[in-house]
Amino acid sequence: MTYRSATHRPSATTILAAAVLLWTAPALAQDIPPVGLPDPAASVDDGGDNFTLGLGVGYAPSYEGSDNYVVSPAGVVRGRVSGFNFYSRATALYLDVIREAPDAPYNIEAGPMVNLRLDRSSRIRDSRVKALGEIDTAIEVGGFVGITKNKVFHGYDFATLRLDVIKDVADAHDGLVIAPNLEYATPLSTRFLIGASLSAEHVSGKFADTYYSIGPAGTRASGLATYDADGGWKNVRGTLLATYSLSGDLRSGAAIFAVGSYSKLLGDFKRSPIVRDAGDKNQFFAALGLSYSF
């Protein structure tokens, strides 16, 4: 492998951060772009092909708005082939079709994405919400665009602003989801990296009706009050990530990752009886796992 100077961002185990940073079970997920090593004299990844796979367990609400929590397997994947990046975030998969420019102060990312929304498709713990019936898995297809600023406070950190736009194509909710995301990450050593993100989701009326409205038939089945939810800002979320390299180098080998997230439902969504009476507007998520990069 050949190397460039430390001003170029590597893309190995920070891959892990990439897939996990905006990664909450309900759908946080995000790419943390690769970062440099703390030592300016150190050499870093030359931008060649790479791949990272991570597996772990997550603890999350059984559906968004639930106060019952379940343990589920969690996984992340990320890589680069011929200069094109791909990565997962929760149940979403992204493909960046814009090659990164080495040593650039800014990098643009854009491309297609697809997401599986599993909300209320299974494992509903509350008997009243379960009586409303399960909802088919939504297949959401769309795209994203973002910009990354390198060297925000020092030579090795970065911040990313990204916008995701996706629409259900499987007739599950038939709605539109727009999600702005702000992310920041920095290495604290050659072994340890931390990151943080803020995100929100704006959803259409069809989405709100599918997951948060209750019709007269639903009231008779569940005992929950009839409710008509309108579209709007559904939630805001904050996420923290830490990853520790077991190999001593964030660019390759095994690493441990931990993620914690807090999300708050807003407006008509927190007032829905599905949340207000049978759940909780405050949502928490945690995950712990192991990744390997090569």
Low-confidence ranges of the chain (pLDDT < 50): 1-46
Residue 92 lies in a domain: yes
Residue 7 lies in a domain: no
So what's the pLDDT on residue 161? 96
CATH code at 200?
2.40.160.40
Residue 3 lies in a domain: no
Residue 25 lies in a domain: yes
* Host domain of residue 230: 14-293
Residue 183 lies in a domain: yes
Residue 31 lies in a domain: yes
Q: How many CB atoms lie within 10 A of CB 44?
A: 24
pLDDT tens by residue, 187-219: 998 899 999 999 999 999 999 999 999 999 999
Query: What six digits make up the tokens of 226?
Result: 């009839």
Q: CA gyration radius for the chain?
A: 20
Residue 280 lies in a domain: yes
Number of domains in the chain: 1
Residue 6 lies in a domain: no
